[in-house]
Amino acid sequence: IIQRRSIERDSLSQERFLVVEPHPDDFALSCSGFMIDQLRRGAEMTLLNVFSNSALATFPWNDRVNISEKYYQSLRLQESQTVADYLEIPFKSYKLPLGLKRGYSSPFGRLQLQDTEFINEISFKIEEDLDGHTTIVAPLAIQNHVAHLAVYTAIIQLKQRNPSTQLVFYEDLPYSKNRFAFPNRIREISEQICLETKYTDVKESLEIMADLASVYKSQFDDINRIQ
């Protein structure tokens, strides 16, 4: 049980952010501090999940709880909806299947050629949901998680069709903590687009960030507010 903390908002910002998370939990773990700061400035925000149809093999509580894949998906989506309700923002999910359910043997690696059309479809779906949002917030796809790579690629395609749309990329946690994968991915992306580093002081947001991360008990059986 989490007691919701209020966020005082002003009217400095007119921006509308579409935050795209490959999995339920990516927003809370990777960019909630930045977005809480934007909400305080008065920005509007929509949280959009792409993949939630998970393989039950990834459920951390398998040795203790017996549930179906359908229930696992609904549980994860319920957690992201709880986070959205906490922040008083809209939430939507495409409920698409993760890589392990589309023929990938591992969650990590390079995208398969057969996924080209699938990623194109995702790109156009996100474009439909852009609908007045001025900025898209999306993952850098550090350490080549195929779900993150699919979303990153779809967003780049969308940007090519909508050059006026602003992009903000977040560091994928926990993958960005890898001291080798992080700089390698940044170099790779910098060959495609021009990156400008931005920092956000999250000291005043830590309590709320901890609240949001600790919602995801279905995925992190040992997560707590101290972490």
pLDDT of the residue at 3 = 83
pLDDT in tens, 183-199: 999 999 999 899 999 99
Q: Compute the distance between CA of residue 227 and CA of residue 210 in angstroms, rounded to an integer.
A: 8
Give the whole-angstrom CA distance, residue 98 versus residue 77. 14
**What's the start-to-end Cα distance of the chain, in Å?**
17
Q: Which residue has the tokens 């990329």?
A: 169
pLDDT attached to residue 16: 96
225 pLDDT higher than 70: no
The least confident of 60-64, 157-161, 163-167 is: 60-64
pTM of the model: 0.93
Distance CA 195, CA 158 (A): 17
Burial-class residue 8 by CB neighbours within 10 Å (0-12, 13-18, 19+): exposed
